Amino acid sequence: MKRIFFLALAAGLLTMGGARAMAQQHSSTLEGLVLGPDNKPVANAAVTYQSGGGNAPHVVHADTKGRFSVAKLRADIYDVRASAQGVYSDWKKNVVLRPGQITTLTLRLTHAPQVPQTAPMPQP
């Protein structure tokens, strides 16, 4: 009886380990570099990524050398953008992450948010 229990337990552990390895094989990694308007790496820049449909945005931060990495993402299509100190990159749209692969991007900060124009003062 003990032998059957241990065999069943071992089979379950092997199956769980196989499922975990399979999930890691099918997950994707997004990595890259954030550059400023001067083409120098931007430390601690915020990198926003979301599914191509705009659902569930997430933010990670670049390291001190402007590099970022997001592991264990579901293979899918994503939109990615970086920002730092009021400057933004364009959205990189339709970035395809394939199972088990690393996708590398360079995000360039080039756009400041548009400042609203003040209304003209009424003339007396």
Place of tokens 């931007």: 42
Distances in Å between the alpha carbon of 44 and those of 5, 17, 34, 118? 52, 35, 9, 33
**Residue 91 domain-assigned?**
yes
In the chain, the number of structural domains is 1
Segment 22-58, tens digit of pLDDT: 444 579 999 999 999 999 999 999 999 998 777 789 9
Within 10 angstroms of residue 33's Cβ, the number of other Cβ atoms is: 18
Tell me whether residue 1 is in a domain. no
Q: Which domain holds residue 70?
A: 26-111
Spatial CB neighbours of 45, under 8 Å, sequence gap ≥ 6: 34, 61, 62, 66, 68, 82, 83, 84, 107, 109
In-domain check, residue 79? yes
- State the CATH number of the domain containing residue 59: 2.60.40.1120
- The Cα-based distances of 22 to 25, 66, 100, 101 in angstroms read 5, 31, 10, 13
For residue 94, is it within any domain?
yes
Residue 92 lies inside a defined structural domain of this protein: yes
Asked, for residue 72, whether it belongs to a domain, the answer is yes
Res. 86: pLDDT tops 70: yes
pLDDT at position 53 is: 76
State residue 76's pLDDT score.
Answer: 93
Q: What is the pLDDT of residue 14?
A: 44
The answer to whether residue 5 is domain-embedded is no
β-pair partners for 30? 70, 103
Average pLDDT, the chain: 80
113 pLDDT higher than 60: yes
pLDDT at 54: 75
Residue 82 domain flag: yes
Query: What is the bridge-based pairing of β-strands 102-111 and 27-35?
Result: parallel
